[in-house]
């Protein structure tokens, strides 16, 4: 008989405990949700305004690059590939916007963004400040090989021009 009473009261105690703990949980949730602004946005219609010092996709204004290799040397993951040749002696030496002479002809400037950790070291050491981080974060690819960007190709130059106009 006693065992039967215990089972009977235990049944209702369990229901009481379940309802009580659910109410406490809902109250905690309610306190954190009520009156708070939503933290989600309707991407891609709405886009986050990123901070000015955002370090996203790298942009090399190759017209102002002197092929000094400083960026590649400073890169901790060796993901910058540069090639250049000396400018023929009989040709005039052009200058960057800041007046630095361009004694080398840049023949390759590739960054493997699949390896890049966006540390910013390469942009810090660049003497002509032609290498900068942008706020562009929409450059995913289906193949990891396609994450290598050659800054001398037409599509990268077009991307750079779009970015400058924006």
Binder to ligand SF4 among 57, 59, 70, 159 (CB under 6 A)? 70
The residues, ordered by sequence, that sit 6+ positions from 120 with a Cβ below 8 Å of its Cβ are 55, 133
- Closest to 100 in 3D by CA, of 59, 130, 123: 130
Rounded Cα distance, 49 and 22, in Å? 38
Which CB atom, from 21 or from 153, has the smaller least distance to ligand SF4? 153
Residue 7-26 contact track with ligand SF4, rule CB under 6 A, x = bound: --------------------
Closest CB 76 distance from ligand SF4, rounded Å: 6
User: In the block, which residue shows the tokens 């996709």?
Assistant: 57
* 29 part of the interface to ligand SF4, by CB under 6 A: no
How many residues in the chain?
166
Closest CB 99 distance from ligand SF4, rounded Å: 13
CB count in 10 Å sphere of residue 109: 24
Q: How wide is the angle at C-alpha 21 spanned by C-alphas 17 and 25, nearest 5°?
A: 170
Give me the phi and psi of 81, to 5 degrees please. -115, 115
Which CB atom, from 16 or from 118, has the smaller least distance to ligand SF4? 118
Closest CB 114 distance from ligand SF4, rounded Å: 11
Which CB atom, from 18 or from 117, has the smaller least distance to ligand SF4? 117
The residues binding ligand SF4 (CB under 6 A) are 60, 65-71, 74-77, 79-80, 82, 111, 116-122, 125-128, 130-131
């Amino acid at each position: 008989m006693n065992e039967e009473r215990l089972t009977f009261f235990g049944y209702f105690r369990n229901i009481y405990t379940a309802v009580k703990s659910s109410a406490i949980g809902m109250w905690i949730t309610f306190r954190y949700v009520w009156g708070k602004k939503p933290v989600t946005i309707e991407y891609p219609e709405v886009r986050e305004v990123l901070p000015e010092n955002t370090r996203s996709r790298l942009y090399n204004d190759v017209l102002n690059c002197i092929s000094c290799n400083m960026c590649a040397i400073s890169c901790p993951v060796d993901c910058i590939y540069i090639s250049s040749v000396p400018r023929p002696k009989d040709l005039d030496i052009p200058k960057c916007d800041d007046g630095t002479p361009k004694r080398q002809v840049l023949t390759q400037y590739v960054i493997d963004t699949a390896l890049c950790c966006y540390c910013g070291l390469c942009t810090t050491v660049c003497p002509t400040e032609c290498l900068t981080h942008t706020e562009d974060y929409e450059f995913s690819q289906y193949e990891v090989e396609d994450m290598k960007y050659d800054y001398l190709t037409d599509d990268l130059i077009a991307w750079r021009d779009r970015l400058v106009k924006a």
